[in-house]
Amino acid sequence: MDESISLAPSPQANGVDGLAVAQSLAARGFKVFPVKQLGKAPANRNGFRSASSDPADWHDGTGQWWAGSHANDNVGIACGPYPDGRCLVVIDLDRHDGGADGVEAWRTKAAEHDDFETLIVATPNEGAHVYFWSGCEIASGAGPAPGIDIKAAGGYVLSQGSALPGGVYEVALDKPISLIPDWVMGWIKSSREEPTEARAPRPVTVPRQMSTPRTGPSSTDEWAARTDWA
């Protein structure tokens, strides 16, 4: 996959230009498929399972994708295994009125670790999708904190350029997708461990200090600073 990621074409006045968005993402190696206009449900027969980065595959029993009455369909990106052996993992951060705030949980955890740079897409509900590559397969499921979900094998996300009634998915931090940090992988795995009565108490650990002091804002802070929070 081409590691250079840029903003997909913006929605037109009459809705998303689905084909242009899909072509832009497919050119960078993303496996894409159609999602219902202004919605999140697949618009094709097999959903993300038939996602492809090859335009020759963009049709099925439902017809040609992003054509005719479906020209303004959204674009889904399949997560999980890719042909080069890597696994696309998206950390889905949601914010709920009066409830869980995945954005704040992520920012608090990330502040404890070395900085990283990767693609971040802002979602219409003031949340975000944080993209990573993993060298091993990870399953989709609940995340390590309330308001955080993991989109990986068996999952998908809406792409930048897609739209919901409440707004548009837009690139918030335009960086190449990085390898998932060890602390993120450990955080995910620890939340999926099966509790057992026989498990010994975990040793108390001293928070790891950054090897190099920060001299400016982190990538997470940069994204937050660019966001016009309601």
Per-residue 3-state assignment (H helix, E strand, C coil) for the chain: CCCCCCCCCCCECCECCHHHHHHHHHCCCCCEEEECCCCCCECCCCHHHHCECCHHHCEECCEECCCHHHCCCEEEEECEECCCCCEEEEEEECECCCCCEHHHHHHHHHCCCCCCCCCEEECCCCCEEEEEEECCCCECEECCCCCEEEECECCEEECCCCEECCEECEEEECCCCEECCHHHHHHHHHHCCCCCCCCCCCCCCCCCCCCCCCCCCCHHHHHHHHCCCC
Residue 213 has pLDDT above 60, yes or no: no
Confidence bin at 226 (pLDDT 50/70/90): low
Mean pLDDT of the chain: 86
Confidence bin at 218 (pLDDT 50/70/90): low
186: Cβ–Cβ under 8 A, 6 or more apart, which residues? Answer: none
Residue 228: the pLDDT is 63
pTM exceeding the 0.85 threshold for the entire prediction: no
Least confident of 9-13, 173-177, 212-216: 9-13
Structural tokens at position 90? 């998206």
Residue 102: the pLDDT is 96
Residue 221 has pLDDT above 90, yes or no: no
Percent over 90 (pLDDT), the chain: 71
Do 131 and 141 meet the contact criterion of CB atoms below 8 Å apart? no
Q: What does the pLDDT look like over 140-178, one tens digit per residue?
A: 999 999 999 999 999 999 999 999 999 999 999 999 999
CA quadruple 90, 57, 175, 121: dihedral sign: negative
Pairwise CA distance, residues 125 & 75, whole Å: 18
Span between the terminal Cα atoms of the chain, in Å: 35
Residue 193: the pLDDT is 75
